[in-house]
Structure 1
Amino acid sequence: MAPRPRPPQPNPLPKFLRTSNVYLFIPNIIGYARIILASISLIYMPIHPLTCTILYGVSCILDALDGYAARKFSQSTKFGAVLDMVTDRCTTSCLLMFLSAAYPDQPSLKILFQFLLSLDLASHYMHMSAMMEKGAGSHKSVNKDQSKLLNLYYTNKAVLFTFCAFNELHFVSLYLLSFPSPSAARDALLPFIYTVAYLTFPVCAGKQIINFVQMARAAETLVNIDKENIRQASLLNGAKTE
C-alpha cells in the first residue's frame, strides 16, 4: 500500500509576517539587529565598558535566537548562514583588535591577540571554502569521517553554544579588566570578572584548538579535491592523445 501523503503543515507565522523575500525572513532580521547592536557597541568600546558589554552581550545572545527562529519558522537560508558567520567573525575580530592595543605594558599579548584573530578568520574562511567545494548544504555538515571533533562541535547544539559563549565571555572579561578601576562599584565586580576569566579560559583555549583543527581539515579537503581534479585532467588528456 502506498504511503499516504502528509497533510500540509500549517505555517506558524502570523499572516502579516509571511513573505517570500529572503531579506525579510525573521532570522535575517535578527541578524540585522545583531549588526546594529554590535556596531553601536564599538562606539562605546573605548569609552564606556559597561554599555559596550551590554550591547555586545545582547548581540551575542541574539546569535542563538536567530538559529532557533530559522528552525522554528523553517526559514533556514544560505544567505542567513553566511550573514551569521560573517557577523560572528567581524564582532570577535573587532574585540580582539581592541584587546591587542589594550595592554601596552604586555607586548606579547598584542602578538597573541593578533594571532588569534588571524586563526579565527583563516580557519572559518578555509572551512567555508572547503565545504562549498564539496557541495555541502551547510558549513555545519561535517561528517565523522572528516573529523570527529568538528562533527561533535557542529552537530551538538549544547557543545557549539558552550564553546562559542565561553570564548566570547573570556574575551569580554579581558576587555573589562583592561580598564582602570574608576569606582568602588567596579572594584566590587573585579572578583567576579576575574572568576569569569579563569573559568572560561580552558574552553576558550579549546575553541582555538578547534579553529586549528578546522583549518587543517579544510586544507586537507581542498588538497584532496585538487588531487582529484589533477587526476581527472590527466585521464582526460591521456584519452585525447590516444
Structure 2
Amino acid sequence: MTKSTTHLRRRGSIDVVDAKVAVDLATAQTYSENVFLFVPNLIGYSRIILAAVALHYMNYHPIYSTLAYCISCLLDAFDGHAARALGQTSKFGAVLDMVTDRCTTSCLLCYLSSAYPNWALAFQFLISLDFSSHYMHMNSSLVTGSRSHKQVDSDVSWILSLYYDSRTLFLVCAGNELFYIALYLMKWVHTPLSVTLGVNGGILSNITWPEVMAILCGPVCFLKNVVNVVQLWKASKVLVGVDLAERAKAREEEAQLAKKS
C-alpha cells in the first residue's frame, strides 16, 4: 500500500448517515432530545435576533445598534461553554455559530462600505477573505473527520492551533469586532476625548474615543486577517492532499481489479 493511502480513514458519521435518513431523524426527533432546542442553539438564535436588531438601528441609532451588536458578539463566548457543560455539542450548533459570526460581521462591513466609500473595496476583500477562509476550513475539517473545525493539530498548523485556543480565539475575535465597531462609531462621535474626560489640550484635543479604540484594536484586526489567510492556505492544502490520497487509492483499486481480471 502506498504512503498516500496508508493515512486514509473513515470520516465518522459523514460516511455512514444517508441524507434521507438524516432528514427523517431530524423530523422525528423528540422534545427530550431536540437538537434545534439545545440550549447553545437557543443562544445562537438569540444572537441572530440581536444582530437583526443591531442592523435595524445601525443607520439612525448608534447606541441601540452598538449595544445589540456587542451583546450578540458576547453571547458567542457562552454557547460553546453551555454545549460542553450540558453535553449538547452538535454539528448543527457549530455551523450555526460560524455562519452567525460570518453573516453578522459581513453585514457590519457592508455598512462600513457605504460609510467609507473610498475603502469599499478593502471591506469587500475582508468579507470575501472571511467567508472563503472559514468555508474552506470547515470543509477541510469535515473531509478529514474532525469533530470540530476548532480542533487543529499543531503539526498541521501551529498558528491555527494557537489561534483556536479558547482564550486566544476570544481575544482576537473580540479585538477584531471592536475595531469594526470603532469604525462605525467614528461616523457618529465627533467630540474630542479631552472634552469627554474634562481635561485640557494635548493629543486628546484632536482625537475621539472611537478613534482611540480603532488605534488599539487595529493590530488585532490585522492579526485576525493574517490568520484568515493562513487558514485559507492550510485548508486548500488539506483538500488537495485528500484529493491526491483518494486518486492514489482509486488507481490502486483499478490496478487490483486489472490483476484479478
Relative to the length of structure 2, the TM-score reads: 0.80
Match of 1:76 among 89, 98, 104: 89
8 A Cα contact 1:152 1:159, kept in partner:
yes
Q: 1:115 aligns to what?
A: 125
Matched, 1:228 2:236: no
Q: 2:230 aligns to what?
A: 213
Percent identity between matched residues is: 48
- SS of 1:145's partner is coil
Q: Structure 2: which 5+ residue stretches go unaligned?
A: 1-30, 198-206
Q: 1:10 aligns to what?
A: none
Aligned-pair CA distance for 1:178: 2.5
Matched, 1:58 2:71: yes
Question: In structure 2, how many angstroms separate the alpha carbons of the residues matched to 1:55 and 1:208?
Answer: 24
Question: In structure 1, how many angstroms separate the alpha carbons of the residues matched to 2:98 and 2:44?
Answer: 10
Match of 1:188 among 179, 196, 202: 196
| Pairs within 5 Å for 1:164-203 | 164-179=173-188, 181=190, 188=196, 191-203=208-220
User: What are the superposed Cα offsets for residues 134-179 of structure 1, whole Å, 9 maximum, x if unpaired?
Assistant: 011110111011100101111x211110000000000000011123
- SS of 1:19's partner is helix
Question: In structure 2, how many angstroms separate the alpha carbons of the residues matched to 1:65 and 1:239?
Answer: 52
- SS of 2:33's partner is coil
Q: 2:34 aligns to what?
A: 21
| Pairs within 5 Å for 1:89-128 | 89-104=102-117, 107=118, 109-128=119-138
| Pairs within 5 Å for 1:28-43 | 28-43=41-56
8 A Cα contact 2:189 2:208, kept in partner:
no
Indicate the larger mover: 212-221 or 59-68: 59-68
- SS of 1:231's partner is helix
The amino acid across from 2:128 in the alignment is S
Question: In structure 2, how many angstroms separate the alpha carbons of the residues matched to 1:222 and 1:37?
Answer: 35
Higher RCO (C-alpha under 8 Å, 6+ residues apart): 2
Aligned-pair CA distance for 1:180: 6.5
Question: In structure 2, how many angstroms separate the alpha carbons of the residues matched to 1:19 and 1:194?
Answer: 49
Question: In structure 2, how many angstroms separate the alpha carbons of the residues matched to 1:170 and 1:41?
Answer: 16
Question: In structure 2, how many angstroms separate the alpha carbons of the residues matched to 1:146 and 1:53?
Answer: 37
User: What are the superposed Cα offsets for residues 180-213 of structure 1, whole Å, 9 maximum, x if unpaired?
Assistant: 74x899x739622111110011111000000000
- SS of 2:32's partner is coil
Q: 1:161 aligns to what?
A: 170
Question: In structure 2, how many angstroms separate the alpha carbons of the residues matched to 1:172 and 1:212?
Answer: 22
8 A Cα contact 2:192 2:208, kept in partner:
no
The amino acid across from 2:140 in the alignment is A
Question: In structure 1, how many angstroms separate the alpha carbons of the residues matched to 2:240 and 2:91?
Answer: 25
The amino acid across from 1:144 in the alignment is S
Q: Structure 1: which 5+ residue stretches go unaligned?
A: 1-17
8 A Cα contact 1:103 1:178, kept in partner:
no
Indicate the larger mover: 69-78 or 50-59: 69-78
- SS of 1:39's partner is helix
Quick one: structure 1 residues 142 and 169, their matched pair in 2 at CA, closer, same or farther if it must change by over 3 Å?
A: same
Matched, 1:144 2:157: no
Indicate the larger mover: 189-198 or 90-99: 189-198
Q: How many positions carry a matched residue from both structures?
A: 219
The amino acid across from 1:47 in the alignment is Y
